[in-house]
């Protein structure tokens, strides 16, 4: 027999000595009734929950099919004009500065949002004479890329500029127009026709440009951007 603390189920103290040990399970029974034992590990998703989600997805599909109005233009398009014939005119060309800003997202990782590049690694576009000069040169760079030494504003870079020939003529013209007018830059816009003409002229090229090659290329002007590339048939 030993001294011990008296539990709530015990009979009144008999000089603080009790014969039988109380059952410990009985002491924790009220707690056990309220909570299940916590277990370790990952429990499988209950089947009823999976079924519930299936039913929910099915019901959502049915609900959309019933109530979406067949996704009709007159319901969803606030500019819809009943009975208007579909426009045969070409859509208005995108604003080059908006398209250019969007396209510039791909240049930003190297030349930075500020256009200042990263000293020693990526040359700046702000204030660069290449950007601000004859637009044919940056168009060539964008179409085929650039490698080898190039000196911009007194610093020499020797990196790899990837080619962007997968961009459309409009996109290349737009991004260069943007770059030529962003930050403190101010040069006239680039015409998509110029990009088309240079793309045609340098189509054979497979290698990125080097700066000396670009200097030579700049002496052969591209076929005039305003005249069609193919000569018009002479009128009788």
Q: Provide the binding-site residues for ligand HEC, judged by CB under 6 A.
A: 106-107, 109-111, 122-125, 128, 130-131, 138, 141-142, 146-148, 150, 152, 157-162, 164, 175, 179
Beta carbon nearer to ligand HEC, 150 or 194: 150
- For the bound state, the minimum distance from the C-beta of residue 57 to ligand HEC, rounded and expressed in Å, comes to 41
**Exposure string for 95-116, b = 16+ CB within 10 A, e = fewer:** ebeebbeebbeebeebbeeebe
Tokens 């964008």 found at: 142
Beta carbon nearer to ligand HEC, 60 or 105: 105
Beta carbon nearer to ligand HEC, 60 or 160: 160
- For the bound state, the minimum distance from the C-beta of residue 96 to ligand HEC, rounded and expressed in Å, comes to 13
- For the bound state, the minimum distance from the C-beta of residue 65 to ligand HEC, rounded and expressed in Å, comes to 43
Report how far apart the first and last C-alpha atoms of the chain are (Å, whole number): 131
- For the bound state, the minimum distance from the C-beta of residue 92 to ligand HEC, rounded and expressed in Å, comes to 24
Cα distances (angstroms) measured from residue 190 to each of 1, 39, 121, 181: 102, 68, 26, 11
The CA-based angle 219-225-226, given to 5 degrees, is 140
**Exposure string for 12-43, b = 16+ CB within 10 A, e = fewer:** eeeeeeeeeeeeeeeeeeeeeeeeeeeeeeee
Beta carbon nearer to ligand HEC, 182 or 193: 182
* Helix, strand, or coil (residue 153): coil
- For the bound state, the minimum distance from the C-beta of residue 113 to ligand HEC, rounded and expressed in Å, comes to 12
Cβ-contact 128, 153 below 8 angstroms: yes
- For the bound state, the minimum distance from the C-beta of residue 235 to ligand HEC, rounded and expressed in Å, comes to 41
Phi, psi of 178 (to 5 degrees): -60, -50
Beta carbon nearer to ligand HEC, 160 or 224: 160
Beta carbon nearer to ligand HEC, 146 or 197: 146
Q: At what angle do helices 136-144 and 169-181 cross, to 10 degrees?
A: 130
């Amino acid at each position: 027999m030993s001294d011990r603390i008296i539990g709530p189920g015990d009979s009144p103290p008999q000089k603080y000595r009790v014969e039988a040990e109380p059952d410990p399970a009985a002491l924790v029974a009220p707690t056990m009734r309220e909570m299940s034992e916590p277990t370790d590990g990952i429990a499988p998703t209950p089947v009823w929950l999976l079924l519930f989600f299936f039913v929910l997805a099915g019901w959502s599909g049915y609900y959309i099919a019933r109530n979406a109005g067949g996704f009709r233009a007159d319901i969803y398009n606030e500019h819809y004009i009943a009975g208007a014939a579909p426009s045969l005119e070409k859509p208005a060309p995108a604003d080059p500065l908006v398209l250019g800003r969007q396209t510039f997202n791909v240049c930003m990782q190297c030349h930075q949002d500020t256009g200042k590049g990263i000293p020693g690694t990526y040359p700046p576009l702000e204030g660069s004479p290449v950007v601000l000069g004859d637009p044919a040169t940056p168009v060539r760079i964008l179409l085929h890329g650039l490698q080898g030494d190039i000196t911009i504003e007194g610093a020499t870079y020797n990196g790899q500029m990837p080619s962007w020939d997968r961009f459309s003529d409009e996109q290349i013209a737009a991004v260069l127009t943007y770059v030529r007018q962003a930050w403190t830059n101010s040069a006239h816009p680039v015409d998509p026709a110029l990009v088309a003409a240079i793309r045609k002229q340098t189509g054979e090229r497979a290698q990125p440009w080097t700066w000396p090659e670009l200097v030579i290329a700049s002496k052969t002007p591209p076929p005039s951007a305003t005249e069609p590339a193919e000569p018009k048939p002479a009128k009788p």
